[in-house]
Amino acid sequence: MNYLITIAYDGSKFYGFQRLNELDSVQKVLEEALTKINKKEVLVKGAGRTDRGVHANGQRVSFKLDIKISPEGLKEAINSLVKPYIYVKEVLEVSDDVHARFSVKKKKYIYKINMGEYKPILTDYTYQPEYKLDIDKMKEVAKLYLGVHDFRNFVAGEREDAQAIIYNIDFEWEDDILNIIFEGKSFYRYMVRNLVGMMIEVGRGKDKITKVEEMLNSNEEIYGYTAPACGLYLESIEY
């Protein structure tokens, strides 16, 4: 049977989603749990390879099992093995052609910034800048990102094709927390953190918006700023 599950996890407790030898990763913990349930090795595919320190409220993962087990029974079995820092929210039986990564139509990421007083309890879960930010300037930067662009200067590592489409960027407040919400089809490694990073640099007056324009339009390598991982959440994925 082919399954698609929705999971949440605390990224501060893992070295990212993807398996990295024997280091603790979300993929490693899931595969070990599912292998124990299946009595045979299980490999999983994630919709997004979140980096170390990045959290998820709606990561999607697909895998195949040799045994027959109900979605509710499988949810209970996995959670008994992966809690407290990973939690399965939903389990679906799906057709064999459904793939967590390749079937994605839209992803939503949220970046959280504490604009109020510093709170130690938020250290691993929200970015807390030591300077004031001009939100209006950050919104101007966000407008530049919308649509189809070559995001090569906002992506880590070498890629032949860094073209992506961003459908929408919203700014929403939750008390003192500013949530910057990104919706798009494809987000590459470090891409959201780099996009937010340049919003922050412009918002604090360290860089001008013209640099962001150059980064989007130039074929030359232009370095920006990478926002810390602690504020980033993979919120949801649509198929």
Written in H, E and C, the secondary structure of the chain is CEEEEEEEECHHHCCCCCCECCECCHHHHHHHHHHHHHCCCCCCEECCCCCCCCEEEEEEEEEECCCCCCHHHHHHHHHHHHCCCEEEEEEEEECCCCCCCCCCCEEEEEEEEECCCCCHHHCCCCECCCCCCCHHHHHHHHHHHCEEEECHHHCCCCCCCCEEEEEEEEEEEECCEEEEEEEECCCCCCHHHHHHHHHHHHHCCCCCHHHHHHHHHCCCCCCCCCCCHHHEEEEEEEC
51 is catalytic: yes
Report d(CA 19, CA 24) in Å as an integer. Answer: 8
Q: Which of 51, 96, 124, 170 is catalytic?
A: 51
Residue numbers annotated as active site:
51
